[in-house]
């Protein structure tokens, strides 16, 4: 929050001017209020429940869902059963379900105790869907209309139920068995004559998701078509929920950050960087560093097994970093491209052959280009800058190794994420660090093998 707002809050808090505090908070957006309250709690540990109680019932629930897990847990601990029940009754079912999934068992018990039986039933419906599925991110609070309704009746119905629904801008048309027949937007209803029926106006080419669909795929579909909401149906095409655009955006952002983390060899955390304790950052990074350091034993083994060759021609060691670096970069280029394309749904497993062929052709062009460049550089610049021991045979060794390494790196870089996807693993785990380790090992092996042949050592 801005300095001014923080100071204002602090001043009013110190004056104990609750009326002014209430008015101050009333003016703000719930997202900002949540940010302010969390930040102010750090300065004034006891302020959270007091300030929270100043919010209107509706605003309170909106603010509540913006808190991170720890803050929410602390607040629940400070609220009375009655206050908790009030907040919960104002929350959307999907938000309540998300909250329950984050809280420890004793808090969950208190939450469920303070939820009305009807609400509990709806929340439980959502909780039964597996993590990461469309069912787990949908809400059951949608507007459903019947074909026979006139536009006037539909608008009256929307007016009546609007406040309990997550969106009224897309309304779904179902029959008495909840079978999804079509949808109609609020825009169409607003701009059509009141006597027309919903059945006449509805769009019946429906794009929907199944409850078991992967949540990322659902989010991508919604954004691909620029929808504000996507209906989720069961195996009999009965409407069971909707995913709204704001939730889809959250899913995409979470999945993106996960991909970035995995590529950086970090266990993903959901807390913003500055709020993450050093201990947590350490724990999210060290296992990967240890694992990758351990796997480097293989590169060590290769070098030590070729120690004689290396002693015979020490100049070879000069090019080890370059070969490993270039191999690693080639591998990252292919693997990150394939990982992102898979993630965006641009490529499918059935495209494997096409992809490998493409990478093969790119590898051909890149490897020849790099090898020629390196050969010329070695015979000119490197002989001056690095070592007078560089001769045509050494340059040839390095260039041939480059060609083989680039081919290996690009092919493996593209193939491993596809293989991971085939095995139903996250393709991102095959990202740069792992591929780099593999490519490092391979490039060293190729290097010394080529050297033995070309240089006869």
Residues in 304-333 that interact with a copy of itself by CB under 8 A: 304, 307, 310-311, 314-315, 317-322, 324-326, 328-330, 332-333
State which residue, 107 or 366, has the beta carbon closest to a copy of itself.
366
Among 15, 121, 217, 373, binds a copy of itself (CB under 8 A): 373
State which residue, 80 or 191, has the beta carbon closest to a copy of itself.
191
Q: Degrees (nearest 5) of the Cα angle 392, 395, 396?
A: 85
Count the neighbouring beta carbons within 10 Å of the beta carbon of residue 114.
21
Nearest to 358 by CA among 413, 400, 436, 426: 413
Instruction: For the segment 152-191, give every residue that binds a copy of itself (CB under 8 A).
Output: 155, 158-159, 162-163, 168-169, 186-187, 190-191
C-alpha separations of 59 from 2, 52, 54, 378, 454 in Å: 21, 10, 10, 69, 76
Instruction: For the segment 88-117, give every residue that binds a copy of itself (CB under 8 A).
Output: none
Q: Tokens 């690009």 sit at which residue?
A: 410
Count the neighbouring beta carbons within 10 Å of the beta carbon of residue 11.
13
What is the per-residue binding string for a copy of itself in 120-159, x denoting contact by CB under 8 A? -----------------------------------x--xx
Max CA-CA distance within the chain? 93
State which residue, 330 or 430, has the beta carbon closest to a copy of itself.
330
State which residue, 96 or 265, has the beta carbon closest to a copy of itself.
265
- Interface with a copy of itself includes 347 (CB under 8 A)? yes
Among 440, 445, 446, 450, binds a copy of itself (CB under 8 A): 440
Among 152, 349, 387, 425, binds a copy of itself (CB under 8 A): 387
What percent of the chain is helix, strand and coil (3-state, nearest 5)?
70, 5, 25
Beta partners for 209?
A: 232
Q: How far is the CB of 327 from a copy of itself (least distance, A)?
A: 10
Among 4, 16, 27, 104, binds a copy of itself (CB under 8 A): 27
Joined together, the tokens standing for residue 365 give 């062009």
State which residue, 136 or 405, has the beta carbon closest to a copy of itself.
405
Quickly list H helices, 344-455.
352-377, 383-385, 392-422, 432-455
Among 7, 164, 257, 270, binds a copy of itself (CB under 8 A): 257
Q: How far is the CB of 81 from a copy of itself (least distance, A)?
A: 29
Instruction: For the segment 216-235, give every residue that binds a copy of itself (CB under 8 A).
Output: 223-226, 228
State which residue, 84 or 324, has the beta carbon closest to a copy of itself.
324
Stretch that binds a copy of itself, among 16-24, 97-105, 136-144, 255-263 (CB under 8 A): 255-263
Mind giving me the DSSP string for 340-353?
HHHHTTSS-GGGHH
Residues 278, 276: Cα–Cα separation, whole Å: 7
- Interface with a copy of itself includes 246 (CB under 8 A)? yes
Among 81, 101, 217, 249, binds a copy of itself (CB under 8 A): 249
Nearest to 151 by CA among 181, 195, 187: 195
Stretch that binds a copy of itself, among 36-44, 82-90, 173-181, 436-444 (CB under 8 A): 436-444
Phi, psi (5° rounding) for residue 165?
A: -110, 150
Instruction: For the segment 394-413, give every residue that binds a copy of itself (CB under 8 A).
Output: none
State which residue, 153 or 329, has the beta carbon closest to a copy of itself.
329
Q: How far is the CB of 295 from a copy of itself (least distance, A)?
A: 9
CB proximity list for 425: less than 8 A, separation 6 or greater? none
Stretch that binds a copy of itself, among 118-126, 138-146, 174-182, 381-389 (CB under 8 A): 381-389
Q: Tokens 């080890």 sit at which residue?
A: 320
Give the β-pairing of 229-233 and 209-210.
parallel
- Interface with a copy of itself includes 274 (CB under 8 A)? yes
**CB under 8 A, 24+ apart: contacts of 47-54:** 47/13, 48/74, 48/75, 48/78, 49/75, 49/78, 49/79, 51/13, 51/21, 51/25, 52/79, 53/83, 54/18, 54/21, 54/22, 54/25
Residues 422, 419: Cα–Cα separation, whole Å: 5
Joined together, the tokens standing for residue 273 give 């960087």
Stretch that binds a copy of itself, among 70-78, 117-125, 210-218, 428-436 (CB under 8 A): 428-436
State which residue, 118 or 273, has the beta carbon closest to a copy of itself.
273
User: Within the chain, how many helices (H) and strands (E) appear?
Assistant: 24, 6
Among 84, 99, 154, 355, binds a copy of itself (CB under 8 A): 355
């Amino acid at each position: 929050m801005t300095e001014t707002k923080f100071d204002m809050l602090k001043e009013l808090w110190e004056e104990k001017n609750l009326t002014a505090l209430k008015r101050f908070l009333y003016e703000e957006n719930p997202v900002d209020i949540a940010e302010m309250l969390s930040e102010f709690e750090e300065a004034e540990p006891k302020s959270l429940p007091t300030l929270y109680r100043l919010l209107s019932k509706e605003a309170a629930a909106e603010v509540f869902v913006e808190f991170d897990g720890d803050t929410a847990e602390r607040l629940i601990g400070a609220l009375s059963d009655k206050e908790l029940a009030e907040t919960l009754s104002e929350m959307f079912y999907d938000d309540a379900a998300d909250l329950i999934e984050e809280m420890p068992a004793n808090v969950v018990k208190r939450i469920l105790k303070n939820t009305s039986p009807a609400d509990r039933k709806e929340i439980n419906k959502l909780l039964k869907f597996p993590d990461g599925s469309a069912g787990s991110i949908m809400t059951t609070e949608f507007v459903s209309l019947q074909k026979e309704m006139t536009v006037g009746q539909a608008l009256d119905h929307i007016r009546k139920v609007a406040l309990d629904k997550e969106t009224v801008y897309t309304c779904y048309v179902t029959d008495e068995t909840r079978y999804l027949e079509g949808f109609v937007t609020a825009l169409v209803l607003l701009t059509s004559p009141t006597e027309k029926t919903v059945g006449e106006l509805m769009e019946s080419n429906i794009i929907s998701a199944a409850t078991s669909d992967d949540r990322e795929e659902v989010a991508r579909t919604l954004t691909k078509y620029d929808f504000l909401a996507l209906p989720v149906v069961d195996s009999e095409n009965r409407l069971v929920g909707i995913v709204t655009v704001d939730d889809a955006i959250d899913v995409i952002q979470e999945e993106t950050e996960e991909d970035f983390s995995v590529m950086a060899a970090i266990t993903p955390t959901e807390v913003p960087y500055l709020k993450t304790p050093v201990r947590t950052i350490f724990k999210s990074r060290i296992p990967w560093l240890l694992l990758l350091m351990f796997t480097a034993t293989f590169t060590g083994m290769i070098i030590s097994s070729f120690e004689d060759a290396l002693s015979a021609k020490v100049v070879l060691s000069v090019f080890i970093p370059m070969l490993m670096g270039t191999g690693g970069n080639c591998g990252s280029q292919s693997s990150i491209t394939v990982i992102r394309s898979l993630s965006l749904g641009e490529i499918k497993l059935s495209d494997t052959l096409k992809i490998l062929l493409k990478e093969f052709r790119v590898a051909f062009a890149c490897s020849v280009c790099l090898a020629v460049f390196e050969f010329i550089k070695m015979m000119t610049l490197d002989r001056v800058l690095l070592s007078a021991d560089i001769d045509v045979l050494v340059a040839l060794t390095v260039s041939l190794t480059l060609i083989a390494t680039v081919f290996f790196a690009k092919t493996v870089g593209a193939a491993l994420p596809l293989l991971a996807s085939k095995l139903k693993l996250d393709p991102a785990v095959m990202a740069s660090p792992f591929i780099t380790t593999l490519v490092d090992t391979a490039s060293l092996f190729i290097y010394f093998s080529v050297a033995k042949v070309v240089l006869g050592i």
